[in-house]
Chain A
Amino acid sequence: MAEKVSPTNMRQVGPKDLEITWTDGHVSTYPVVYLRRSCRCAACVDEWTGERTLRPEAVPEDVKPVRIEPVGRYALHFAWSDGHSSGIYSFDHLRAICPCGECVKAASGESPGS
């Protein structure tokens, strides 16, 4: 089992971005609206099929977190300005959806340089 990464630091960057620094040194910068649209709670994703039921356009472009709190030792909880607050984002999930070029490339299975 690969060593799991966890955050060493988390901060708000500007009005629209959340930055997480991970134990392996990687830095992820998430536009908050992207995080809201990536919610995996039962209201946003079909629990049986895994299909996303949340329509991206249903999330206002200017949505922002009200408060971000740690959950136990494995996740973050977001309370959002649109009233949604049932999403728990595990560190595994957060790292998997890192939007940086490097991670997106790795996730889509492309070999570097292709």
Chain B
Amino acid sequence: MFGRAKKTVDESKILEALRTVEDPDLHRDIVSLGFIKELKIEGGKVSFKVELTTPACPVKEQLKAECHQKVSAIVGVEQVDIEMTAQVRRMNVGAATAVLQGVKNIIAVASGKGGVGKSTTAANLAMALKVSGARVGLFDADIHGPSMAMMFGINSRPEVTEDRKIVPIDAHGIKVISMGFLSGPDTPVIWRGPMVHGAIQQLVRDSAWGELDYLVVDLPPGTGDAQLSISQAIALSGAVIVTTPQDVSLLDARKGLLMFRQLRVPVLGIVENMSYFLCPHCGERTEIFRHGGGKKTSEELGVPFLGEIPIDPSVPVGGDLGNPIVREKPDSPAAQAYTAFARQVAAQLSMLAESGGKSLPHAPIMPGPIDWK
């Protein structure tokens, strides 16, 4: 055979090939998005990192396979090593980011009415984002029925630092602060509006959250004091509305959504909980309530539909035992559905950040404060 000298593959060839790989959510190629890092070429060996905008990217494996295939097809390439990483982007919300400096995205989980599984959804959203590799915090703002301590098996109270910051409790790697920390399990919180307002502002602002990619806020159901307080105290990156397929729940979901529109918080989408029942024995799918209401409502209101979560008896069991199902039984259909939903939420936030708030309606960038002269 010919004694061929080892010829190094041209870098531009590789970038050219990668330029044909498009992020399906951001609708741009991964080279111009700046995802390709540390490209190294040694002879026929090519290695690089693909830095996504979220570790919970719904199409991570698909993108990796596509990169691998495209680069492998280049003449002279013998080996391709790809590492998938992520750097969560912060949406520019303007001056309002001054509060909670280290937190990149704040997601409110809301519902128009109680009993739709909002807290369970919030817990599993946080857990799924954490499992994907993100740094996650959870603020349980459900003033009258805080449940995160139970859902995450927390028995202790948070400590307070010397500079009077509350240190969140670490539960399964998630930093948790709950309104429940202010009262015992047998002490109902019977507060007037101004007290709710003060407590929420203080807990969310004065907690030592540190650096977080996502802070999930579990709001109480409905449209009242607590929702307003949160929306005033911090600049929410977006809100997720939890509903069930029944009409009354959908009606309330609309109200929740319209509230966020008034408060100019972008609605990332609607997730339908208790969507259907999967028989654990035969796997048959039964739609206990009617099907498709959440999707229809999201289409009517022009917001993304983020997924449907099946009814699974082990979901509340996991919740009661302090272990969200995403962690307890990651392969179960419900856990998979929560994970897919969490990825959709992360994708919507990435799109918002990338588009400068333009991918969803009503996402203003706040002006800075003025000291009058």
A3 and B364 CA atoms in complex are apart in Å by: 12
Q: What are 13 residue pairs bridging A and B, where the CB atoms are less than 8 Å apart in the complex?
A: A4-B362, A8-B365, A10-B368, A32-B372, A66-B371, A67-B371, A70-B96, A70-B368, A72-B265, A73-B231, A74-B263, A74-B264, A91-B264
A63 and B235 CA atoms in complex are apart in Å by: 29
Chain B hits for A20, CB < 8 A: 367
Tell me the dominant secondary structure on chain A's binding face.
strand
B350 CB to nearest A CB, Å: 19
Q: Are A64 and B263 in contact (CB under 8 A)?
A: no
Whether A64 touches B264, Cβ cut-off 8 Å, given contacts A7-B367, A73-B364, is: no
A76 and B372 CA atoms in complex are apart in Å by: 14
Q: What 1/0 flags go to A5-27 for Cβ under 8 Å of B? A: 01111111001001010010000
A18 and B366 CA atoms in complex are apart in Å by: 16
Chain A hits for B371, CB < 8 A: 66-67
Count of interface residues, chain B, beta-carbon cutoff 8 Å? 28
Chain A hits for B150, CB < 8 A: none
B233 at the interface (CB under 8 A from A): yes
Chain B hits for A15, CB < 8 A: 373
A17 CB to nearest B CB, Å: 11
Q: Which residues of chain A have a CB within 8 Å of any CB of chain B?
A: 1, 3-4, 6-12, 15, 18, 20, 23, 32, 64-76, 88, 90-92
Enumerate B350-373 residues with CB–CB distance to A below 8 Å.
Answer: 361-373
Q: Which residues of chain B have a CB within 8 Å of any CB of chain A?
A: 93-96, 231-236, 261-265, 361-373
- B232 partner, pick from A3, A32, A64, A72, beta carbons under 8 A: A72
Whether A67 touches B369, Cβ cut-off 8 Å, given contacts A72-B265, A73-B263, is: yes
Of all chain B residues, the one with the shortest Cβ separation from A65 is B372
Q: Knowing that A67-B371, A73-B235 are A-B contacts, what are 7 other residue pairs whose CB atoms are under 8 Å apart, sorted by A's residue number?
A: A70-B368, A72-B232, A72-B235, A72-B263, A72-B265, A74-B262, A74-B364
Of all chain B residues, the one with the shortest Cβ separation from A3 is B361
A65 and B371 CA atoms in complex are apart in Å by: 8
A92 and B262 CA atoms in complex are apart in Å by: 9
Of all chain B residues, the one with the shortest Cβ separation from A69 is B369
Question: Ordered nearest first, which 9 A-B pairs have the shortest CB separation?
Answer: A6-B364, A74-B264, A10-B367, A70-B366, A73-B264, A68-B370, A65-B372, A72-B231, A69-B369
